Structure 1
Amino acid sequence: MTDEPHPHVLLLGFTVADDLFQHIVARDVVLPTQTHTFAWALVESVRAAGCPVRLLSAAPASTFPRNRQIRFRSGRFEQAGVQGELLGFVNLLGLKHVTRFLAAVRAGSRALRQHGDDVLLIHGVHTPFLWFGALAAWRGSARVVPILTDPPGVVLPDDGPIVRALRRLDHSLVRMALRRCSGVVVLTAALAEDFAPSLPRLVMEGICNPPAAQASASGPAGSFDADGPWVASRGPAAGFRDVVYAGGLTRAYGVDRLVEAFRGMDDPDLRLFLFGRGELEEWLRTQAKADPRIAPPELLDRGGLVRRLARASVLVNPRPVDQSFVRYSFPSKLIEYLSTGIPVVTTRLPGIPADYDPYLCFAESDTAKGLRDALLRVLAMSPAERGALGSAGAVFVRQTRGPAAQGERIRSFLVELMTATHRHGCVSTGEGELPQHPLGRR
Structure 2
Amino acid sequence: MDILLLCGYFESKYQEEISRKTKTWVENAANTFQKRLIAGFKEQGVNLKVVSAPLIGPWPTAYDDIVFRGFEAGESAENVQYVRFNNIWGYRNISRTAALKKRVRDFVRKSEAKEKAIIVYCPHTPFLEAAVYGKRLDQSIHIHMVVPDLPQYMNLSKKAHPIYDFFKSIDIQKMDRLIAQVNSFMLLTKYMADKLHVGKRPYIVVEGITDVKSIPCAEKKERGKSVAYAGKLVEAFGVKRLIEAFEMIDDQEATLHICGGGELKPYVEETCKIDNRIRYYGVVPAEKANEILQNADVLVNPRQNDDEYTKYSFPSKNIEYLMTGNAVVAYMLDGMPDEYRGLLQVPGNNSVAALAEAIRAALTDENSEQRKRQVQISRTHLYYTAVAEQICGLLNGLSH
Taking structure 2 as the reference length, the TM-score comes to 0.90
Question: Deviation at 1:410?
Answer: 2.0
1:57 aligns with 2:41: no
Counterpart residue number, 1:346? 330
Whole-angstrom CA distance in 1 between matches of 2:296 and 2:70: 42
- Paired residues for 1:27-38 under 5 Å: 27-29=21-23, 30-38=25-33
Give deviations 1:183-233, integer Å, cap 9, x for gaps. 1112222222112332322112211137x4x5x45xxxxxxxxxx431224
Q: How does 1:165-204 map to 2 (within 5 A)?
A: 165-198=166-199, 199-204=201-206
Contact map agreement 2:40 2:384 (CA 8 A) in 1: yes
Match of 2:388 in 1: 407
Residue identity matched to 1:200: P
How far the C-alpha of 1:394 sits from its partner, in A, is 0.9
- Residue 320 of structure 1 is matched in structure 2 by 304
Using the alignment, how far apart are the partners of 1:180 and 1:28 within structure 2? 34
- For residue 276 of structure 1, report the CA deviation from its aligned partner: 1.4
Question: Contact 1:16–1:59 (CA<8 Å) still a contact in 2?
Answer: yes
Mapped contact 2:36–2:210 kept (Cα < 8 A):
yes
1:119, 1:77 → 2: CA distance?
26
- Residue 400 of structure 1 deviates from its aligned partner by 3.4
Give the residue type in structure 2 aligned to 1:169. I
Q: CA deviation at 1:270?
A: 1.4
When residues 170 and 406 of structure 1 are mapped into structure 2, their CA distance, relative to the original with a 3 A threshold, is same
- What's 1:439 paired with? none
Q: Does the CA-based 8 Å contact 1:113-1:141 persist in structure 2?
A: no
Distance in 2 between residues matched to 1:250 and 1:72, nearest whole Å: 27
1:396-422 CA-to-partner distances (Å, cap 9, x unmatched) read 223331222222222222222223xxx
Output the CA distance in 2 between the equivalents of 1:254 and 1:232. Answer: 31
Residue 281 (structure 1) aligns with: 265
For 2:378, the equivalent position in structure 1 comes to 397
The amino acid that maps onto 1:23 is: E
**Residues 248 and 159 of structure 1: CA distance in aligned 2, closer, same or farther (over 3 Å):** closer
Letter of the 1:179 partner, please give it: A
The secondary structure found in structure 1 opposite 2:399 is helix
Asked whether the 8 Å contact 2:347–2:357 carries over to 1, the reply is yes
One-letter code aligned to 1:42: L
Counterpart residue number, 2:87: 91
When residues 284 and 162 of structure 1 are mapped into structure 2, their CA distance, relative to the original with a 3 A threshold, is: closer
Question: Does the 8 Å CA contact 1:262/1:272 hold for their aligned counterparts?
Answer: yes
Q: Secondary structure at the match of 1:344?
A: strand
Percent of pairs identical after alignment? Answer: 26
> Match of 1:408, as an amino acid?
E
Match of 1:241 in 2: 225
Paired residues, number:
390
**1:142 CA drift (Å):** 1.5
- Which one-letter code corresponds to 1:188 in the other structure? T
Distance 1:356 1:182, change over 3 A: same
CA contact (8 A) 1:207 1:402 kept: yes
- Match of residue 3 from structure 2: 9
Question: Could you tell me which amino acid in structure 2 is paired with residue 350 of structure 1?
Answer: D
Q: Residue type of the partner of 1:44?
A: A
Give 3-state SS (helix, strand or coil) of 1:378's partner.
helix
Q: Please, which runs of 5 or more residues in structure 2 have no aligned partner?
A: none
Provide the aligned C-alpha RMSD in A.
2.2
Alpha-carbon deviation of 1:350? 1.2
Deviation at 1:390, TM superposition (A): 1.5
Match of 2:221 among 225, 232, 241: 232
Q: Secondary structure at the match of 1:67?
A: coil
Contact 2:19 2:284 in 1 (8 A): no
Give, in whole Å, the separation in 2 of the partners of 1:243 and 1:91.
37
Which one-letter code corresponds to 1:230 in the other structure? Answer: E
Greater CA drift, 16-25 or 30-39: 16-25
Higher-Rg structure is 1
Q: Is the 8 Å Cα contact of residues 148 and 187 (structure 1) preserved in structure 2?
A: yes
When normalised by structure 1's length, the TM-score is 0.82
Post-superposition offset of 1:314 = 1.2
Q: Deviations over 1:129-169 (max 9, x none)?
A: 21222222233152001112222244653333332221111
For residue 295 of structure 1, give the secondary structure of its aligned residue in structure 2: strand
**Separation of aligned partners in 2, 1:399 and 1:409:** 13
Corresponding residue number in structure 2 for 1:438: none
Give the unaligned 5+ runs of structure 1.
1-6, 218-227, 420-442
Distance 1:69 1:360, change over 3 A: same
Shift of 1:71: 1.4
Counterpart pick for 2:209 among 190, 207, 210: 207
Letter in 1 for 2:105: S
Paired residue type of 1:13: C
For residue 8 of structure 1, report the CA deviation from its aligned partner: 3.0
